Structure 1
């Protein structure tokens, strides 16, 4: 009984145990065998070279579901796994520097609740590993070992999905950088349960420049102004003061793209409100509290 209570106390919040890049590679292996169909869990285990009783299998399934790459069909003995439409659009979009694919990868990286919260707290880039680990342990309730794993995955996902939300990379100055100012990370090691005889994984695709409205560092040699000027789908709206705002797409916008845009705007609103609240003078805050007290 005491061991059960102890495990409950040490349990960390749900967070993928593999990076997004690895999860997409797992999804690719599943697609190569099942295409758009669903498959029982034991068959998925075979695709990923896990035993049906492996804890790594359950963690892989949970990770793909957390990123929004996979869903369940049925339950119990009839349970099957299927790739989501978002996953198919990521895997099958072979257009060079497809902005739609880039945005879907960003959406997958931010899909886990912890990930969206963390990037909402640091919209201009993740802080140092020590600061991020401290936040996960004391604000999110992670155990120290799980916080260490989560920190590594968060940094890997930020690099892979290019989750820069500001042109400033000052928050990465403590990490090694290449000539273009991008953080350099070690090659990701595989999880212990993955069969060492498996062929080396291949990158799914090269991530190109993110759309202008999202912000971010650009690869060397990319003329963003020229690429934006040729975007065929443009929407222009006016705010209450008559100021124009323009949203540009490289392809006809889909429902998923608008959903991602909505999620991004909600995230930015949370950040702005949090910053506004933190800059309010103490007297103003106390005054506001006082006004709400019953007389």
Structure 2
């Protein structure tokens, strides 16, 4: 059997959305036979090679879905995208669709700040099993899709906002109360347990709180708030809480 390159979108995200919207104009959210879908896209039937490639690409992005009877309908996300009241909401859907094809998701995870040269991307894709011609076509589709979704503009803005939120934190403790605050001796016997801020009404006498960003997979972020002073016992309690969360995740997979 002749080896093929891995599956990847054959058309950019903007083109795919435009074609999915044509399907929505014809069928709304109703399932339709695959030949009817191909005809709505301008092809005679679904046996046409170009038609099959486009339909597969719409599925890779998550713009269409197929039911158990092999009927095809546009996704609920496409309808929500079309009627989203703000550009920010629409861009969230664009980023979601951009990350849906596995090859695109992997590349964005690997190159989180900006894309490298075409040569580097080509080498990466060939290592993944792409032929050179298929790799070049994938790079062109990928770059245009990234630009259309304004992906790196979006992630960079998130980082700037996160940094500004840290820099703009202000100590709102009234001066009358500040004079009564004394530093706690940094001994383990006097260490206070770390309690999530959102679930505790107790006020701690801390000098400052550092919010540390942690980059997660698929472009997500978490923030860890560390009070000052931060004792060795606090560290152990924090590690225990993280271990508990991880054990809960494993239980979910086992169920």
* TM class, shorter-length: 0.5 to 0.7
2:158 is matched with: 213
CA RMSD of aligned residues (A): 3.0
Checking the alignment, whether the CA contact within 8 Å between 2:38 and 2:55 is kept in structure 1 is no
1:58 is matched with: 52
1:45 maps onto 2:34 in alignment: no
Give the TM-score of the pair, scaled to structure 1: 0.54
Aligned residue pairs: how many? 177
Q: How has the CA–CA distance of structure 1 residues 121 and 109 changed in structure 2, closer, same or farther, with 3 Å as cutoff?
A: same
Superposed displacement of residue 59, structure 1: 1.1
Distance between the aligned counterparts of 1:160 and 1:268, measured in 2?
17
Q: How has the CA–CA distance of structure 1 residues 121 and 30 changed in structure 2, closer, same or farther, with 3 Å as cutoff?
A: same
Q: Which of 1 and 2 has higher RCO (CA within 8 Å, sep 6+)?
A: 1
Aligned with residue 15 of structure 1, among 8, 15, 20: 8
Superposed displacement of residue 135, structure 1: 1.0
Superposed displacement of residue 85, structure 1: 1.2
Aligned with residue 72 of structure 1, among 62, 66, 90: 66
Checking the alignment, whether the CA contact within 8 Å between 1:238 and 1:245 is kept in structure 2 is no
Q: Which has the larger radius of gyration?
A: 2
Distance between the aligned counterparts of 1:34 and 1:102, measured in 2?
24
Distance between the aligned counterparts of 2:160 and 2:211, measured in 1?
18
Superposed displacement of residue 265, structure 1: 3.7
2:137 is matched with: 149
Structure 1 runs (4+) greater than 4 angstroms displaced:
241-246
1:200 is matched with: none
Distance between the aligned counterparts of 1:214 and 1:30, measured in 2?
37
1:125 maps onto 2:114 in alignment: yes
Checking the alignment, whether the CA contact within 8 Å between 2:31 and 2:71 is kept in structure 1 is yes
Unaligned stretches of 5+ residues in structure 2: 166-195, 199-207, 222-255
1:177 is matched with: none
Q: How has the CA–CA distance of structure 1 residues 129 and 215 changed in structure 2, closer, same or farther, with 3 Å as cutoff?
A: farther
Distance between the aligned counterparts of 1:32 and 1:245, measured in 2?
47
Q: How has the CA–CA distance of structure 1 residues 122 and 25 changed in structure 2, closer, same or farther, with 3 Å as cutoff?
A: same
Superposed displacement of residue 91, structure 1: 2.1
Superposed displacement of residue 127, structure 1: 0.7
